[in-house]
Structure 1
Amino acid sequence: MKIVILAALFACAMAMPKRMVLPRLPASVIMSGKYQLIPEDKIVGGAVVAPNSLPFQVSLQRRGSTGSFSQSCGGSILDANVIIDAAHCVRGVTDLTIFRVVAGEHSLRTDSGLEQNRAVTRFVMHENYKPLTFENDISLLFLDAPLDLSVPEAQPVLLPPPTSELDPPAGTIVTVSGWGTTSSGGVISDQLRSVDVPVVDDDVCNRAYGGTAASPQVYPSMLCAGDISNGGIDSCQGDSGGPLFTGTGASAVQHGIVSWGQGCALAGYPGVYTQVSFFLDWIAANRV
């Protein structure tokens, strides 16, 4: 039955406009019936990172029918009590007990003893999030207990300066990370992976998705990155909500949140990210 449902969802996605794709959430979340069609996300063409070298990265996990938790989305530590994530990772969820945030994670299957597990007590989703266009795809998750940020395995990410003019220009190499699949429709990665991708000009990205100045598909609050000519490097299913950043370790600056895209790593279709600098005032007003 699940195969029939998933096949129907893929058929619907193919019949919709180019920008409408399956979520960058795992197929198990889609088939649970608790989610709608959203962007696709994974790490394609990258490599496993050194354990705990990206201490701001968290795994947002969902509890399944068996009671066990599995990878759903990424996320970043904003401070000891707050995680920055994508709105589409939490939209429609009323039972917060299905969520678990894991900081200090590297291997999903192996417990290193460095993990910090926290429940989510509430979340704030952008009030103007639009699921059909993915505008304002940002949320904040609040934890049931503070993370221990005195250890090197769990550190907050830095936010960009309060102006989009200082965001990485087209051609700048940025990094995206997550436990998402390494091919469209593939399986979740056990270990945290990352890939370097070039920033793509907004107008080029907008035209790639069929948008115009009068009817945009890529909005000013979005940031694009990927190899538009050759494809092969991208985020994918299971990476949603994760960080697009420059730098590394505790000095990393987050510029984007994994949001949407056409397939994964397809030539002509770069990944599209929520542009963090656009929402600095919103973050400041809602993080308390």
Structure 2
Amino acid sequence: MDRKRKHLIRLGAGVAAGLGAVALAWTGVAANAEEPEAGGDFEAKIVGGEAAEEGQYPWLVSLVYSDDGTPFCGGSVIAEDVVITAAHCVERLSGPDDVVVYSGSVDLESPNIVETEVTDIHMAHDYNEPVDLANDWALLRLDEAVDVEPIEVGTEPEEFDVLETAGWGDLGNDTYPTVARWVEVPFVSDDDCEDAYPGEVDAQTMLCAGDLENGGVDSCDGDSGGPIMVRTDEGLILVGIVSWGDGCAVAGNPGVYAEVADFNSAIDDVLDDWS
């Protein structure tokens, strides 16, 4: 699934317009992205990043269509049998049988990759309220526990200088890496985020990150549902979920992420119900 874009819906070269086309999320530049200017530097990927090393993000997983093995979104393991992702990644699925989760390696071609079925999907009941893509989160209940370290979920919203995001987003020219990429992105204040996207940001449920002045670092197409994290003395903490933006790594247009601290108690309620 593309990192959601909010203005110009565009499926990309060779992608069927029907919702049943599994290639919808795994080809072309980000959905709703503004077209790059001719001759401009535009790379749809974890922009400005580098390849992740094994063990760097053990909780990072890929969501894959079960019928043909096509990856379409990212996610994070937050309990031994639960993955958090973006609601817009799963809203068009007909049910949990449509998706499996790949875990165990940052390399999707690694022999260490484990494929796990999904038995239940919980999508935020207030998704798209009070604005489009507010509360953009969902939980996947796995058929069995995965042998990876879950990431700690943030509980209090704070402002940080630098965040990290990771995923298997588009490398450009309709190609995607088998090894996940990661990048550091500057935190953007709520005020600056709202100035960048007037009337489109719900500061309660969203946070922004990116280089406002220069661009060049961002999450993008194919990274949806993946984590944005803060590094603390205790390790990395999940503070957001890749959600949407206008363009990729464009100056003045930061990436927008679902802010997990706002719905942490709702996550706990679902986990309690599933336990």
Q: What range is the shorter-chain TM-score in?
A: 0.7 to 0.9
Counterpart secondary structure, 2:238 = strand
Aligned to 1:33: 19
Where structure 1 has 5 or more consecutive residues not aligned to the other structure, the ranges are: 1-12, 149-153
Q: TM-score, normalised by structure 1?
A: 0.78
Relative to structure 1, the CA distance from residue 21 to residue 240 in structure 2 (aligned partners, 3 Å threshold; closer, same or farther) is farther
- Range that drifts further, 250-259 or 278-287: 250-259
Q: Which amino acid aligns with 1:20?
A: H
Opposite residue 204 of structure 1, the aligned amino acid is D
2:54 aligned to which of 46, 51, 58: 51
Question: Residues 102 and 173 (structure 1 numbering): CA distance in 2 closer, same or farther, change over 3 Å?
Answer: same
Counterpart mapping for 1:85-124 below 5 A: 85-108=85-108, 110-112=109-111, 114-124=112-122
Deviation sequence 1:35-63 (CA, Å, 0-9, x none): 79966684111000112321010011114
How many residue pairs were aligned? 251
Residues 59 and 28 of structure 1, relative CA distance in 2, 3 Å threshold: farther
Change (3 A) 1:144 1:50: same
Per-residue CA deviations over 1:114-146 (Å, capped at 9, x if unaligned) read 222101111000011118710110000011111
Equivalent AA in structure 2 for residue 144 of structure 1: D
Query: TM-score when scaled to structure 2?
Result: 0.82
**Displacement after TM superposition at 1:111 (Å):** 2.6
Q: 1:173 aligns with which of 159, 162, 181?
A: 162
Cα distance in structure 2, aligned partners of 1:117 and 1:45: 29
| 2:229 corresponding residue in structure 1 | 245
Matched, 1:195 2:183: yes
Tell me the percent identity.
35
Contact 1:48 1:191 survives alignment (8 Å):
yes
Partners of 2:74 and 2:256 in 1: how far apart?
15
Instruction: Report which stretch shifted further, 69-78 or 122-131.
Output: 122-131
Distance 1:22 1:219, change over 3 A: farther
Cα distance change on mapping 1:100 and 1:233 into 2, 3 Å: same
Task: Write the distance in 2 (CA, Å) between the matches of 1:88 and 1:26.
Answer: 18
Residue 156 of structure 1, aligned match among 150, 156, 168: 150
CA distance in 2, matches of 1:26, 1:144: 34
List per-residue Cα deviations over 1:226-261 (Å, max 9, x = no partner). 01111111001110000000228x932000100000
Q: How many Å apart are 1:217 and its aligned residue?
A: 3.0
CA RMSD in angstroms comes to 2.9
